[in-house]
Chains A and B, each alone.
Chain A
């Protein structure tokens, strides 16, 4: 997936770009509306993350202006008050809305929800052994059979699939899977890994335990 992030706060932008890259997404960063226009003219994007307050204008006005020619779904990032702002952003044609500071897991969840809702032709299916995994639809297909995965299973499987052969620590998985507002123990990861193992049983891939270090997906 190719994302365009329009955000003038460089630290925040860097963190978002890094985080989305972990999921295998290509993210272009524009620091102002003029840059964003250039990016949009040069490339096709699957999703735009748009800050509201930019040095050269209001993101919502840009949205209202370009909505007619822009097919790409847009998630608005804002630090303004929810009550007075929420309706405004959605009215101007945003697909969703997230308040800063946001949890990256929530951002991912919202991106996925918007992409799924918009349907689009964008598909990034991942081949896992004999199976085909569609992280957007949350399905795992083996021949004619198709299994629906739960959200956390999808995300866990996506992390393993994108880092096949690499050792992933429990703490790394925890940070990817859970938002920070819940106190989670590493036991929870063990539970989800156990469940995922049963799901992919017989599909030609497996998740190995690397003692003291974490887990690794192997063919």
Chain B
């Protein structure tokens, strides 16, 4: 079915999109925070290192002296294997360390406070901490600047490591979120699927309203579905009523006319008049039969559209139909021979009975009196065959023409060889059941065999 796509998929995609965004965001934040934390740690260690060095500054005989404590550098090594540079200077005079280490400019103004800066030294990015301290040199206190710098490779690798971990966690979060979204989508669509399943489980003519608890969001859908089924049921009933009513309206006056004609026939004395009345009765019979079969055909088309199948013992159906036609056959002293076989099929019994009755009716009608109409059943290759064989004139050119004339005045376009609506109905019923109607003239034109073929169950 083409449509606007699956709600479930859309919901899952939407939730997965949100999860992806959240994952990327959290990764980005964690990475940023990790970097910041690493940098802050480096800064703290640099500050401690630079303060430790600054504390060893002293004045000795008017000169500034210092000892570079080992701990000041070892603590830096604790973070990483980065290179460390230092510089102790008074103004532009270097006391010790790397002369060309770039020193931040604002240090003088910030006496006693550690100042940080980032710069470049020997081709690498370095983080520098500088502290200024006043030391007495002679009588005058001079500011001494202590700077310690460290390359940032360690910080970068720590933050890269943390970022990788964050990325891994984000991906894991995303995957969990996606499967949870799919689960959530499925769970929230479950009531909808349940309703769909409940509808599709029903038989084609089951139009009772759906009575099941549904979430509030689905209540309007359920209500409209029930209303639709109600209307459908009404229209089916009214169509069936219409057909039954039409049959009644057409046949009742015909029955009256026929009765009158029979009374007239009995009291008529003139042979010519009698002949006319007989023809009139025959015409009435013909038209009532045509009307009946047209309406039957309508009902059949209607019912085959929406086949209600029930398991039927075909042998019982055949015996019943045959015994219903026995009086009709007896009027012509035709014997109905039945070889019933216990075979089952999933069919609409009313329709199959109608099809069989039409075929049998034809056989009886076109058989000469005092003959036999044989009904034989067989089951082969998953098919049940009900063969009706008569000793009539067969389906040859001439008689076939006659059949159409008799049976179907002016409506011989129905398609099946030599038959009118009766065989059309039979064929339609069988085709709707996945079967077929086979017609053949017996060898030497000694009768007709009409076989109803149905898939067995």
A residues touching B (Cβ–Cβ < 8 Å)? 9, 11-12, 14-16, 18-19, 53, 79-87, 96-97, 99-106, 109-110, 112-113, 150-152, 171, 175, 178-182
Contacts and interface: CB of A to CB of B under 8 A. Distances in A.
B296 interface: yes
B251 A99 contact: yes
Question: 8 closest A-B pairs (Cβ-Cβ)?
Answer: A15-B259, A101-B255, A79-B251, A109-B327, A100-B255, A101-B258, A81-B247, A83-B299
Interface residues of B, number: 51
Contact of B256 (A11, A102, A106): A11
Contact of A106 (B254, B271, B331, B353): B331
B274 A18 contact: no
Contacts of B256: 9, 11-12
Contacts of A106: 327-328, 331
B254 A109 contact: no
Contact of B331 (A81, A96, A100, A109): A109
Nearest to B275: A171
A81 B243 contact: yes
B393 interface: no
Given A9-B252, A84-B240, A152 B327 contact: no
A100 B350 contact: no
B255 A150 contact: no
B401 to A, nearest CB: 16
Given A11-B256, A102-B255, A150-B370, A113 B262 contact: no
A85 B137 CA distance: 129
Nearest to B296: A83
B57 to A, nearest CB: 117
Contact of B244 (A11, A84, A101, A110): A84
Given A14-B259, A106-B331, A181 B285 contact: yes
Nearest to A113: B327
A199 to B, nearest CB: 14
B351 interface: yes
B351 A101 contact: no
5 contacts: A9-B252, A9-B255, A80-B248, A83-B300, A87-B349
A103 B369 CA distance: 18
Contacts of A105: 331
A150 B334 CA distance: 10
A83 B251 contact: no
Of B263, B286, B331, B332, most A-chain CB atoms within 10 Å: B331
A81 B292 contact: yes
Interface string B311-341: 0000000000000101110111100000000
Nearest to B365: A181
B363 to A, nearest CB: 14
A180 B244 CA distance: 26
